[in-house]
Chains A and B, each alone.
Chain A
Amino acid sequence: DTEVTQTPKHLVMGMTNKKSLKCEQHMGHRAMYWYKQKAKKPPELMFVYSYEKLSINESVPSRFSPECPNSSLLNLHLHALQPEDSALYLCASSQVGHSYEQYFGPGTRLTVT
């Protein structure tokens, strides 16, 4: 099973709202990732968790707050977002190590109004 699930599929939120994106995998992967993808652009890495610890933060603004409650779950908490944060947010997982491929979820399409 190479499935990564993400909820919700679509999210519309105002600039003062607080919301969360959720990601789950049951492949036994211990590395999990958040990416942001704008239209007609490649994905941009935001965060990497390795063994449930944050290992990479690509200088992401603090209005994005990641959380990894356990080895299967990854959350992205959103607060006081800007309209330019509207994008497709992709979660991925992989085995730990640089050689392993990442498996992506279907993404959450976020619109900030």
Chain B
Amino acid sequence: AQKVTQAQTEISVVEKEDVTLDCVYETRDTTYYLFWYKQPPSGELVFLIRRNSFDEQNEISGRYSWNFQKSTSSFNFTITASQVVDSAVYFCALRPGTASKLTFGTGTRLQVTL
């Protein structure tokens, strides 16, 4: 069975603070894919990143960075110098190499205030 845990239900930060969203996953598959999605109040899920299980390189895209560690089954997401526009619910998701179904975490609601 697959499982994704996002232990942080809600996080509030002041603009320009750095914030890390945690994601821990469980799977027995050796090949799997991890994703992060952003869901602003408008409702649309916006794809942010995909990471393959065999590629442990961390990634940086502007103010966003991702830390993938297979040893701890974690795929954490850091926003540097947060902005009000970053306010949204962020979902981590897992897709095993043998399955068509995405398993989502319960999401972390990030609120960035001035």
**B109 to A, closest residue via Cβ:** A40
Q: Within 8 Å CB of A90, what residues of B? A: 43-45
- The DSSP consensus for interface residues of chain B is loop
- Complex: how many Å from CA A111 to CA B45? 20
Interface residues contributed by chain B, number (CB under 8 Å): 24
Q: Which residue of A lies closest to B97 (CB)?
A: A98
Shortest CB–CB separation between residue A2 and chain B, in angstroms? 8
Chain B interface (Cβ within 8 Å of chain A)? 33, 35, 37, 42-47, 50, 52, 91, 95-102, 104-107
Q: Which label, helix, strand, loop or mixed, suits the secondary structure of the A interface?
A: loop
Residues of A within 8 A of B100 (CB): 48, 50, 55-56, 98
A98 and B95 form a contact (CB under 8 A): yes
Q: Number of A residues whose C-beta is below 8 Å from B?
A: 25
